[in-house]
Amino acid sequence: MIRESEMLVVGGGPAGMMAALQGLDNGIAVTLIDDGIEIGGQLIKQTHKFFGSEMEYAGTRGIELGKMLKEKLFNYDNFTYLGKTTATGYYEDGVVTAVREDKEYMKFRPRVLLIATGAAERPLAIPNCDLPGVYGAGAVQTLMNLYGVLPGKRALMIGAGNIGLIVAYQLLQAGTGVAAVVEAMPCIGGYLVHASKIRRSGVPILCSHTILDIQGSDRVERAKIVKVDDNWNPLPGTEKWLEVDLICVAVGLTPLTDLLWQAGCEMRYVSELGGEVPVRNREMQTSVPHIFVAGDAAGIEEASSAILEGGIAGLAMARYLGAPMTDSEYRENSAKYWNELENFRGGPIGRRILEGLKKVLEH
């Protein structure tokens, strides 16, 4: 059986939830499929307060924001949520396939489709990185903040971007020591306020440093770090062993774009956005007219921008389906999100994103 639907959203993170809400607000029936055990994407493990402005719920902890959006969605009768459901493919007849709870095979044919699949963590190849105790930052957050399981006693964080800094802080809050944060770049990549709060808890942030080796008999027991030069070459004589049982890798994200590729959306490599991303217009519509994109799948950024992009896409998708709104209403509402997004990207951090967007945003 093929489930015919109006709007299908793949991915229940901030972008997908906001887009679904926009659809529902405009009277569209929305089906949302998500592979997680709970709707919310990464929000369900973000225990820190979000930055940004009021429109992106600044000051609210991610975990609370996820609950808030979930409550709003579940108030709608025409909202269908399918959790533990992994989208597995897109076919040329417009059918999206999915597997629910590892047993039920499902087919959807939506009139309009949002790909809000988020991102995947980049791995780091280090000798013995298959030892138990080497985790991606997302897994560490899942263990600690979702399941209440301590992933280790003493950690080494690889990467001083926002994720590395935030997860290091969350490790400290959970009672895990953090031996150091190492960062191969000469400067801290994440927000300096995040860096300051772990530094004043005694965690050294070692820029121009990387991990060289991991040792341990049946799990991680120690890690070798080293200072690197400007070309990332290890400087002999600066090697140091750290006694740690947890290595947390936070070296960046890549957009999850498999479905967009399958659907034949035009893709471009944009380093500022984290990899291959779809060409889109200001409605977040891809080169395949009924397929829209929002959030990290469109380019690695922040939850705050994912929320705004989700709003833009959801609104445009509702109009695509002929929801009753005048052109001026549509333009006015879409402009609210765009203005906020431009404001958000108006600083030095957003400048890089804007450079990247020039390469894929078509008017």
Give me the residues that bind other proteins (CB under 8 A), please: 48-54, 58-59, 61, 172-173, 186-188, 191-203, 205, 207, 302, 304, 343-350
Question: What distance in Å separates the CA atoms of residue 321 and residue 323, rounded to the nearest whole number?
Answer: 6
Least distance CB 51 / other proteins (angstroms) = 4
What is the rounded radius of gyration, in angstroms, for the C-alpha atoms of the chain?
21
Q: Which residues contact 67 (CB under 8 A, 6 or more apart)?
A: 40
Taking alpha carbons only, the member of 178, 183, 159 closest to residue 253 is 159
Q: Which residues contact 14 (CB under 8 A, 6 or more apart)?
A: 41, 43, 65, 66, 69, 295, 303, 306, 307, 310
Least distance CB 175 / other proteins (angstroms) = 9
**For other proteins, which is the closer residue by CB, 100 or 336?**
336
**Beta-carbon count within 10 A of 267 CB:** 18
**For other proteins, which is the closer residue by CB, 110 or 151?**
151
Q: Which residues contact 141 (CB under 8 A, 6 or more apart)?
A: 42, 45, 46, 167, 170
**For other proteins, which is the closer residue by CB, 180 or 253?**
180
Structure tokens at 123: 């791995």
**For other proteins, which is the closer residue by CB, 78 or 173?**
173
**For other proteins, which is the closer residue by CB, 30 or 44?**
44
What one-letter code names the amino acid at 210? T
Helices 327-344 & 303-320 angle (0-180, nearest 10)? 170
**For other proteins, which is the closer residue by CB, 11 or 295?**
295
**For other proteins, which is the closer residue by CB, 23 or 52?**
52
Q: Which residues contact 240 (CB under 8 A, 6 or more apart)?
A: 224, 225, 226
Least distance CB 225 / other proteins (angstroms) = 16
Least distance CB 202 / other proteins (angstroms) = 3
* Length of the chain in terms of residues written: 363
Tell me 234's DSSP state. Answer: B
Least distance CB 169 / other proteins (angstroms) = 8
**Residue in the structure block whose two tokens are 């409550």:** 71
**For other proteins, which is the closer residue by CB, 48 or 290?**
48
